[in-house]
Structure 1
Amino acid sequence: MPIIFDKLSAAVVGAVVFLLLFGLQIRVQGGRIEDSLVYNAKQQTLAFADMVERDLANTGYLSVPGDDVIISHSSSTYDSTTVTSLFEFWGLGDTGIRSKIRYAAVQIDSAYVVDKMVPAFQIERYEDDGFGWNMTGASSAQITEFTIQLLDENNNVAIPSNARQIRVRIGNAVAVNPMSTSTEHKSTLAGREMKWGITIAPRGLSLQGYQG
């Protein structure tokens, strides 16, 4: 009987050790998956931010004194989240000529960030080089912040004709686990949020309203 008991005890201990190792392996794999998701989100954020920065730096490309460089700038609020819904301006097109550039926010989904659900957007880039608008780029569908502010030379909020600087803020949620909700859109559980921002003073903006 003692022999049987010893074998039973060994089996129980072995099972406990196996469960502990299995749990550890699951946590390690989960950590690797999350690290991969964070890395991919970071790369997506930086790729989109690079495109935005390049466009904003060329705001007013080939403008002449007195030109209205910024064509349209508007914001919208979704569930207490305010984003720049439309930003249109004269800039440098992908073909290397002066073109109209447009950024438009489209709500795609929702995401959990810091224990609360927030709207998630895709920011779409359009370009008109004189032959109509064409979509030429877009962000991921997990943008939680997209704010473009127009500032004067003293960092005060400005109207388009008086703007001399452009400040942009971007937030990108990192989806960790799928989560079903009662809403029409599939929502995702996001544990982190990538943030990026910059303030640029394009040379082309300095020509707005200048009459010589």
Structure 2
Amino acid sequence: MASKPFVSDIENIRKRAREHIDKGAITAGYNGDRETVIKLLNQALATEIVCVLRYKYHYYMAKGIHAKSVAAEFLEHANEEQQHADWIAERITQLDGEPNLSPEGLLTRSHSDYVEGEDLVDMLKEDLVAERIAIDSYREIVNYIGPSDPTTRRLMEEILAVEEEHAEDLATLLDNLGKKGEPAKPAKARPPAKKPGKG
């Protein structure tokens, strides 16, 4: 099978680059539906911000005998989700869009929910549910973009890979807590036992 030669009209590329310099990173070769991609990225941005907020809440509210190691995981995940949000916002601006950072409507734009949880196990479960939602929705974004916008697709694939790592970390922590006997709910105070013969 003969290899196909690479042919590029460099002169024409140079000419187009000068003619449309105001478009920044968007060149004539961009094949994506830019408006839809920006909308999807803003939804992913909202998802990441909600995840940051939920992980931060869980970090500060983690209590129990195993809270220290789990809280460290919450903080690590919060920092990684913030990095994702920054990458997504930057990509939106590269596509000549505006990152929607308004708190108004944040939860309606986000794919995942903000659920605080009542205790350490609840928190881990809610974070795992949110990661699983992000995994499926980001995979759909990657599939939608396909070859039309390789830069955005690679970005979302990279974020997707980290979300899968987060889900695995959380599932392992839940499994370990179950083995260590961490209560699923905080123990309720029992009424004092009555002394024999005291009615």
Whether the TM-score (by the shorter chain) exceeds 0.5 is no
TM-score (norm 2): 0.28
Report the structure, 1 or 2, having the larger strand content. 1
Report the structure, 1 or 2, having the larger helix content. 2
